[in-house]
Amino acid sequence: MDNKNKEVIDAIEAPIYLKYNFTAGLAPARFLSQLKQGVLTGQRCPKCDNVYVPPRGSCPACGVATEEEVVLGDKATVQSFTIVSIPIPGNPIQPPYIVANLVPDGANISFIHLMSECVNEEVRIGQRVTAIWKPKEEWDFAMDNIRYFKPLDEPDVPAELIGHLSVNGTEN
């Protein structure tokens, strides 16, 4: 917007910029360091056995610290998803694309990531997917080391079992 050529001012640019210095705590720092090595990890609650990814260092249900690290595989299950059709300023991804809540095998909660190499209209809850990683030399302390998840040719997981698979993809 440019008010220079306007005779009557009816709008102004009023941006707000918030500068942060984010410090990852112990659990996220450990998680990100493992990601840099190409490994997806969670942490298990010593009380209820739930595995959290990304780990925050404690179990919100039990209120206890989680310290046991669990190495997760690349395979995951779609817990929910949305098809994004509206471009977001600053986001280089062109719509339509899929954002999904994915539960990695061996974990009990989902994280959000992208799906690609899929037919958007055929994405469904319970669908099996696998991580597509960037080339190793591009790995950083970042979740987008995984470029996206793509569908696997495996039977869907029944809704009641989503979030309850062992790390090798079998029913717990």
Partner 1 sequence: MVKDSLLQKEYELGFTYTRSTGPVVGKFLTGLKNRQIFGNRATDGRVIVPPMEYDPETFQPLNDFVQVSDAGVIESWCWVSKPRSSHPSAVPFAWAMIKLDGADISMIHHIVTNEQNRVVTGARVKALWIDQPVGFISDIRCFVLEED
**Per-residue x/- marks for Zn ion, 42-81, CB under 5 A?**
---x-xx----------x-xx-------------------
Phi then psi for residue 114, to 5 deg, are -90, 150
Nearer to Zn ion, 68 or 117 (CB): 68
Which of the choices Zn ion, partner 1, none does residue 3 contact, using the CB cut-off of 5 to 8 A by kind? Answer: partner 1
- Site membership for partner 1, residue 24 (CB under 8 A): yes
Q: Which of 48, 62, 63, 69 binds partner 1 (CB under 8 A)?
A: 69
Which of the choices Zn ion, partner 1, none does residue 21 contact, using the CB cut-off of 5 to 8 A by kind? Answer: partner 1
Q: Which two tokens stand for residue 154?
A: 């495996």
- Site membership for partner 1, residue 16 (CB under 8 A): yes
How far apart CA 68 and CA 122 sit, in angstroms, is 37
How far apart CA 62 and CA 60 sit, in angstroms, is 6
Q: Which two tokens stand for residue 157?
A: 């997981």
Q: Which two tokens stand for residue 96?
A: 């339509």
Q: Which two tokens stand for residue 38?
A: 């190409």
Q: How many residues bind partner 1 (CB under 8 A)?
A: 32
Q: Are 31 and 55 in contact (CB under 8 A)?
A: yes
Interface residues toward Zn ion, by CB under 5 A? 45, 47-48, 59, 61-62
